Amino acid sequence: MTFHESGEIPRENLHVIGFSLGCHIASMAGKSLPENVRIPRITALDPAYPEFPIQDRTKRLANTDADYIDVIHTDSGIFGFPVSIGHSDFYPNGGRALQPGCQPSYLASQQIVEQVVACSHVRAWKLYVESVINPSAFPVTRCQKWGGEHKQCNFTVDGYMGFASNPNMNGKYYLRTGFKYPYGLTVAEQQI
C-alpha cells in the first residue's frame, strides 16, 4: 500500500520541492507514479543544467510530471537549466548570474568569498524560503520584453513567485530582488 492509497497523506496536500538536482529527482517521482495518480505540485528551485538534456523530457524535469510545476531560475545556463520547463517559470533579475549581492567584490567585503561560485544558484532556495515566510514578498509581471535592469514595460502584479504561486498562473514571469535578505521588493521598487 502506498501513501496515497492509505489516505495518510491526502494527495491534494502533496507539494514536492527540489533544488538543483533535487528538481530532477522530484521529476522522476512524478514520472514513476501510475497514470491515474499525479503529484499536484512540484516547485523546482533552479533545476540543475549540467548533464541534463534540453530536448529529452524523459530524463529531466518536464511540465508533464505534475499537475502544476513552478520553477525559479536564478543561474540559467551555468548551474541552472537555461530554458522554461514549468507551467510557470520565474526569472528574478532576468534569471541569470550574477544575482544582486553575488558580485565577487561584495562577497569578499562580507568575508563570504567561498560563495562566489554558486551564489546565484543557491539564491533560488533563499528566495523560496522568504516566500514561505512572506507569501507576497515577490510580486511578478508577465512583461514580454524584460531585459534585466533594462525592462521595457510597466510593472503590473500578475501574481507572486514562490509559495503563493498557483496553478492559475502560466507562462514566464519577471521581477527584481534586493541584494540581501529580505530580498523582496515592493511594487514601487520594481518600477525603478
Q: Which residues are catalytic?
A: 20, 46, 121
Number of other residues whose CB lies within 10 A of the CB of residue 112: 11
Number of other residues whose CB lies within 10 A of the CB of residue 148: 12
Spacing of C-alpha 37 from chain mean position = 24
Which residues are within 8 A (CB) of 176 and not within 5 positions of it... i.e. 6 or more apart? 92, 93, 100, 149, 185, 189, 190, 192
Number of other residues whose CB lies within 10 A of the CB of residue 52: 17
- CA dist list (Å): 115 to 10, 58, 74, 129, 176: 39, 32, 15, 18, 21
Distance CA 46, CA 162 (A): 12
